[in-house]
């Protein structure tokens, strides 16, 4: 854990330093967006006139983040020409290019030099939340005795993402990517009637993450997957504090979701 102090019981207390760095994953094309991503990467599609990725940057800045690494791939030029060095937003922005699309576990490796020895906030570039969510992640990180923060939502189909299971103190104890029915039943056998918490795609990571992503093997889906690295960290004793996203959370995944957003967006 980072900057932790010991209490009378010998456990670390929540005294992590505020986060200053964030990694944004914006390399994908977003094929479900069809013709909307013919010229734009999905994170640059506007919602109410402002690209999703810009809304993420601005929301994180409000929460105290000042240094960004944006991982680009498809139409990287669009992202890089829009944001430049970040000066327009009074932040620092750097870039890394994902050349081979082989999974979220590998793409995070591109942030190793940027992170250095510092913890960092990470978000997928198509997850839209209110700025208060990033502020809450900062609060949880500072106040809870943890190595990282793992955000979740209820009401999503866990078979399409990852299901997270927590202990009584809402610390992550199991994580399964895209579980099938047999895996869900096996989890019920181990944990009882657990809540179907859905991985919300926003995290706080310690720099030790890269020790685990470097050792990843391909999943049954043929990819190096970030949730498996997190699972291995939990197995080794790292503590991820769960955080429920109470406000708006939108995976801007297809034209129908985008249409609803543009009709109902309140910021």
**Tens digits of pLDDT across the chain (267 residues):** 444 444 433 445 567 899 999 999 998 766 666 666 667 888 998 888 899 999 999 999 999 999 999 999 989 999 999 999 999 999 999 999 988 878 888 899 999 999 999 999 999 999 999 999 999 999 999 999 999 999 999 999 999 899 999 999 999 999 999 999 999 999 999 999 999 999 999 999 999 999 999 999 988 888 889 999 999 999 999 999 999 998 889 888 777 877 787 777 665
Which architecture characterizes domain 21-264 according to CATH?
A: Alpha-Beta Complex (3.90)
Specify whether the CB–CB gap between 248 and 130 falls below 8 A. Answer: yes
pTM for this entry: 0.91
Angle at 170 between CA 166 and CA 171, to 5 degrees: 70
pLDDT at 82: 96
């Amino acid at each position: 854990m980072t900057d932790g102090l010991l209490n009378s019981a010998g456990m670390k207390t929540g005294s992590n330093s505020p986060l200053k760095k964030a990694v944004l994953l914006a390399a994908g094309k977003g094929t479900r967006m069809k013709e909307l991503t013919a010229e734009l990467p999905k994170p640059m599609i506007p919602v109410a006139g402002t690209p999703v990725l810009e809304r993420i940057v601005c929301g994180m800045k409000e929460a105290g983040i000042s240094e960004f690494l944006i991982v680009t791939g498809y139409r990287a030029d669009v992202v890089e020409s829009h944001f430049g060095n970040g000066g327009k937003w009074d932040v620092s922005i750097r870039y890394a290019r994902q050349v081979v699309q082989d999974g979220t576990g590998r793409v995070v490796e591109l942030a190793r030099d940027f992170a250095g020895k510092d913890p960092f906030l990470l978000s997928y570039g198509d997850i839209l939340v209110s700025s208060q969510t990033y502020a809450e992640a900062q609060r949880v990180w500072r106040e809870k005795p943890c190595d990282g923060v793992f955000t979740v939502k209820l009401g999503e189909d866990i078979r399409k993402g990852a299901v997270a299971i927590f202990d009584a103190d809402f610390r992550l104890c199991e994580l399964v990517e895209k579980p099938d029915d047999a895996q869900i039943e096996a989890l019920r056998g181990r944990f009882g009637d657990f809540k179907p918490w859905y991985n919300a795609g926003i995290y706080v990571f310690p720099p030790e993450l890269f020790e685990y992503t470097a050792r990843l093997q391909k999943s049954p889906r043929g990819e190096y997957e970030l949730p498996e690295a997190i699972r291995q960290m939990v197995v080794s004793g790292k503590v991820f504090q769960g955080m429920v996203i109470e406000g708006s959370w939108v995976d801007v995944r297809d034209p129908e979701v985008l249409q609803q957003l543009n009709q109902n967006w309140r910021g």
